[in-house]
Every structure is written in C-alpha cells, then in structure tokens.
Amino acid sequence: MYGGDGADYISGTIGSAGATIGITFAYSAFSDSTLSAMDTIAIGTGAATGTYVQSYAPGGLVLASFSATDVGTATNGVVVFTGTFNDDLTSRVAALNSAITTTGAVAFFNGSGNTRTYMFIQGGSTDTVVQVGLTSSAVAAGSVTLAGGRTVTYNMA
C-alpha cells in the first residue's frame, strides 16, 4: 500500500493483540511523508500492540545509531532522548536531523509530549517523518529489523 505525496491516514484493525497486519506500508520517496505533511499509520484505535512492516522502494536504508551529548542515543534504530530534552516533535526532528548523518538511516522515537511514536528517516534535504500508532505505545529497543535495505519491521509494544 502506497500513501504517496501529502498527509495520509492509513489505518487498519487488528484482530488480536500481537497479531501481524497483512499490509506492507510502502514509500517511494523520502518526501512522501514529512513533518509538514505527515502520514499516520495505525493499527486499531487503542493501545493495540502489533507488528508493522514498512518498505522503502528505492532501498538503501540502515538502522540509525548515534550518541549525542545532551540529546540522547540511538541503538538499532530506536532513539532514547535524554530525560531533559524537549519533547516537542519539531525540536526532536531537528535534533535527529543533526545527529543522524547517514542518508537512509531509520530511527524510531517518542515525541509530542512523549504521547506519540514516530519514524524518522534521514533523507538529506527532505526527511521522512511518519506517526506510527495512535497512542503512547512505543517501539521497543531491539524490536526493529531491516531486510534488504528496504523493509523495516517493528513491534509496537
């Protein structure tokens, strides 16, 4: 399923907690979802857990890793901001844009008052920002896997 340009709301209903949704959410350009025109990908409307699969057609993805003083760390694509870092989404995206220097690096993080989870991909001049899930569920460290440089699988916990 491709959202394409602009802000899209892509929602599915999951039959049971922990199940895997049978749709791959696909992107063909880093500009398909941005901070100013952001997609929301969600399974269910509550705090449902689930396994999400996203694909970036051009490939070249890696999982982000960094350690930045006063910002936080990223391990295996999962970002942990320092407890004192601003939890505003715009501030966090700006910080990730600075800390992540590899084009195609994928990072999951919490923002908007730590009540939402997002995926960031460093795209160079245009970065991908997607809201994943609707509630304060989070992507757990170690739950992100990458296949073929283009298919990202992660669990919402």
Pick the closest to residue 42 from 147, 136, 140 (CA basis): 136
Measured from the CB atom, is 16 or 125 closer to Ca ion? 125
For residues 49 and 19, is the Cβ–Cβ distance under 8 A? no
- Of the candidate residues 24, 31, 97, 135, the single one contacting Ca ion (CB under 5 A): 97
Q: Percentage helix, strand, coil, to 5, in the chain?
A: 10, 40, 50
8 binds Ca ion (CB under 5 A): no
Pick the closest to residue 108 from 99, 125, 97, 121 (CA basis): 121
Closest CB 123 distance from Ca ion, rounded Å: 6
Measured from the CB atom, is 26 or 35 closer to Ca ion? 35
Closest CB 9 distance from Ca ion, rounded Å: 24
Measured from the CB atom, is 8 or 127 closer to Ca ion? 127
Q: Where are the alpha helices (DSSP H) in 8-88?
A: none
Closest CB 103 distance from Ca ion, rounded Å: 8
Q: Give the x-and-dash track for 100-139 against Ca ion (CB under 5 A).
A: ---------------------------x------------
32 binds Ca ion (CB under 5 A): no
Which residues, 6 or more positions from 15, have their beta carbon under 8 angstroms from its beta carbon? Answer: none
Q: Is the dihedral of CA 157, 21, 6, 106 positive or negative?
A: positive
Q: Which residues bind Ca ion (CB under 5 A)?
A: 97, 127
